[in-house]
Amino acid sequence: MATHPAKLLLTPEEYLVMEREADFKSEFRNGNIVMMPGASRQHNLIAGNIFGEIYVQLLNRTCEVYINDMRVKVSETGLYTYPDVVVVCDEPRFEDGYFDTLLNPTVIVEVLSPSTENYDRNEKFMSYQALESLQEYILISQHGIHVEQYMRQEDGWILREYSSLDDMFQIASIECKLALRAIYAKVQFS
């Protein structure tokens, strides 16, 4: 009977050393490195549109908005991940002197991909809820016009959904408004 060597789990420190030298991005989940899949044209357009809309509205304010490459750590669960768009409005706190791993996001936006949609909705969202700083979690479909906005309340999270290009919604925690028409600008559905 053949035996397989036990899979070694990495420490967060080992992951960060490897990640900072890697040619590709990967998440860190429960001691395992998980490669990030590439993004479609629609995914990139939507993430860029959201970043642009929020960036302009925050331009003369203290909040900061990042796209794709700002790693977020959920200390309580040990998850390291790369949201599509992340906003921080308090003084940004980072894991170390590299300033590439944010600890206190205010808003996280994920553009849903077929390969990660269930993970983004379930396990990742459950992990994100452990972030005391997180006030809103927004999921954007890339296959049709649909936005899900989860907002933290004292007794849990509430969901609002939008599915018309004429809809506009308020990201109250950062005082920004987003029009679905702007989010989906230049996006063509097959």
Domains within the chain, CATH numbers bracketed: 39-68+83-183 (3.90.1570.10)
pLDDT for 8 equals 76
Q: What is the pLDDT of residues 32-80, one digit of tens each?
A: 999 988 899 999 999 999 999 999 999 999 999 999 999 999 999 999 9
Of 102, 87, 109, 105, give the one whose Cα is nearest residue 175. 87
**pLDDT value at 183 more than 80:** yes
Share above pLDDT 90 across residues of the chain, in percent, rounded to a whole number? 91
The CA-atom distances, in angstroms, between 4 and each of 7, 30, 87 are 9, 20, 43
pLDDT for 3 equals 56
pLDDT for 94 equals 98
pLDDT (average), residues 119-126 = 96
The average confidence (pLDDT) of the chain is 94
pLDDT for 190 equals 79
String of DSSP letters for 22-77: -SS-EEEETTEEEEPPP--HHHHHHHHHHHHHHHHHHTTSS-EEEESS-EEEETTT
